[in-house]
Structure 1
Amino acid sequence: MAQHYFDPEPGAAHRPGTVDLVLPDLHLRLGTDSGVFSPDQVDLGTRILLDTVPPPPPRGRLLDVGCGYGPIALAMARRAPAAAVLGVDVNTRALDLARANAAANGIANARFAAVTDTSDDSDGELDGPFDALWSNPPIRVGKAALHTLLRTWLARLSPGAHAHLVVHRHLGADSLHRWLDAHGHPAERVASRSGYRVLRTGAPEHPPRPPGATCR
């Protein structure tokens, strides 16, 4: 059976390696392995996102959805050392790597959690609210799953907080932009490079009313 980076338990034989994330303001050496997203180099879309996003809020709770082995979450944490960063993924191999990468780079303000297991979420950590979201989202899970994922996490943003998403135009960046606009998340293209679009959006404009609520 084909293995995907969004499989919770990759069965691919281990092939450990390292990659370097080098940006003007930071240098991280990251451990990788087979069965995770972009194991041979930091994905170009991730690099473009990190090159173009504004600085994260200096405090608060920051989120990386589909964190893989941690480049985005760890860059957020390094740039905002007083903030608490959460990276989430379904891939347990990637999450183990992200935790090891945080320790190896001396980053203590990043935590990583499996989104399919909330047994250790008694404090509601996954519920938010979050003050920023950066993501190279898992486009290859398919549109339905991607839309569900985005609806879930965008709804957990604080009022006025922004999400920055990077997607290649050949993988549906422009259709995703239209979908966000049509589903209460007005989006703006804030960067475009090498075919990648960086989209900025936020929480729903009109959050759903709780059960039993009536219109006035």
Structure 2
Amino acid sequence: MSKGAHYFDERPESAGRPGTVDVVLPDLHLRLATDSGVFSPGRLDPGTRVLLETVPPPPQTGDLLDLGCGYGPIALTMASRAPEATVWAVDVNRRSLELCARNAQSIGLDKVRPVHVDEMPPGVRFTAIWSNPAIRIGKPALHAMLTRWLDRLTPDGAAYLVVQKHLGSDSLQRWLSDNGWPTTREASRSAYRVLRVAARPAPTGDDPRDPSGR
């Protein structure tokens, strides 16, 4: 990418350099189209690999979310492992969304829904979120992004986030726990940790039968 360009830009200005990446996991092999201006276009990112090799199987029904989908390795793995579920693949990067849609179509995963972050239907709630979040956007933006999406977990849902240790996985775990999301370490491998984040419990006294809380 050109100087000053980022994979979290909405419309990358870098010239296209189409390529392919093979996602080879114990249970599947996907060949995905990539391009410049997206996250890790030359190889499957090591953190993404750790996530995909350590998370438990996704729920087989309901709505699942890949937060920051890039060209689609996480979303398409979720969809391959849970073919009856609807997988929402969200990103701010329009080029990433186009690639993810093209890859889903070429593989025949017709329940993948690539959507810009600001165009996601508001009523959808997720039974699972998988993400290699964009830590480099900075803590305030990262915390705002995670709050926005983690609060859309179903009560029994869980998110799995992979974060490099030296980029603040332990401090992020503390922040999540301190802000009401029960968070544990699911796995630790090489320079990465996978965090399991449960939905925030409903406030004490919050009874949907009585809006007053009585």
Normalised TM-score (structure 2): 0.92
SS of equivalent to 2:56: coil
* In structure 2, C-alpha distance between the alignment counterparts of 1:19 and 1:47, rounded to whole Å: 13
Structure 2 counterpart of 1:41, which letter? R
Name the CA distance, whole Å, in 1 between partners of 2:103 and 2:31: 8
- Residue 37 of structure 1 aligns to a residue whose secondary structure is coil
Aligned residue number for residue 155 of structure 2:
159
Q: Percent identity?
A: 58
What pairs up with 1:33-72 in 2 under 5 angstroms? 33-72=35-74
Structure 2 residue runs of 5 or longer lacking an equivalent are none
Which residue, out of 64, 89, 94, partners 1:92?
A: 94
Which residue pairs with 1:10 in the alignment? 12
RMSD: 1.6
1:47–1:207 Cα change, 3 Å: farther
C-alpha contact (below 8 Å) 1:184/1:206 kept by paired residues: no
Matched, 1:192 2:165: no
Tell me the distance in 2 between the aligned counterparts of 1:105 and 1:2: 33
Q: Which amino acid aligns with 2:57?
A: P
CA displacement, residues 23-70 of structure 1 (integer Å, 9 cap, x when unaligned): 011110011111100000010110110000000011111001001110
C-alpha spacing 1:54/1:148, structure 2 compared with 1 (3 Å): same
Q: Distance in 2 between matches of 1:66 and 1:128?
A: 17
Alignment match, 1:114: 116
Length, aligned pairs only: 207
Runs of 4+ residues over 3 Å off in structure 1: 206-209, 213-216
How far the C-alpha of 1:205 sits from its partner, in A, is 2.4
Indicate whether 1:145 and 2:144 are aligned.
no
In structure 2, the residue matched to 1:28 is 30
Per-residue displacement from partner, 1:162-196 (whole Å, max 9, x unpaired)?
10000000111111001001100121001000110
Distance 1:94 1:207, change over 3 A: farther
CA contact (8 A) 2:155 2:200 kept: no
Q: Which runs of 5+ in 1 are unaligned?
A: none
TM normalised by structure 1 equals 0.92
Query: 2:159·2:198 contact (CA, 8 Å) conserved in 1?
Result: yes
Tell me by how many angstroms 1:204 deviates. 1.7
Equivalent-residue separation in structure 1 for 2:202 and 2:164 (angstroms): 28
